[in-house]
Amino acid sequence: MPYYVYILANRTRTIYTGVTSNLEGRIAQHKSKAQVGFTQKYDTTKLVYYEEHATALEAIAREKQVKAYRREKKVALINALNPKWQDLAEDWEPNAHEEDD
């Protein structure tokens, strides 16, 4: 089962980093603002970066690494993959999957 580290952004480029085993389901949760927290408060619902990992331990370690980065380094990660900061999940089918982080 793959695990994902992902970065969300809003229109003013506030960013949020997370980890999940169900990327589509988790992004659907963020987009629907189903959970109270940072992404709901700051409307960070646009998937601008993600990477896949083979194990939960690898993904969690990478999430911690990315979260510790200065903003400039996070922006560089996003720009390398997605220089226009487009929503990578824009064309995904909406779903109501619930999942555990």
Q: Where are the domains of the chain?
A: 3-81
Q: Taken in order 24, 98, 22, 69, is the CA torsion positive or negative?
A: positive
In whole angstroms, give the CA distance from residue 27 to residue 34: 10
Helix ranges (H only) for the chain are 23-32, 38-42, 56-68, 71-81
The CATH number of 3-81 is 3.40.1440.10
* pLDDT tens track for 51-66: 999 999 999 999 999 9
pTM of the model: 0.88
pLDDT band at 39 (very low <50, low <70, confident <90, very high): confident
81 contacts 40 by C-beta, under 8 angstroms: no
pLDDT band at 99 (very low <50, low <70, confident <90, very high): very low
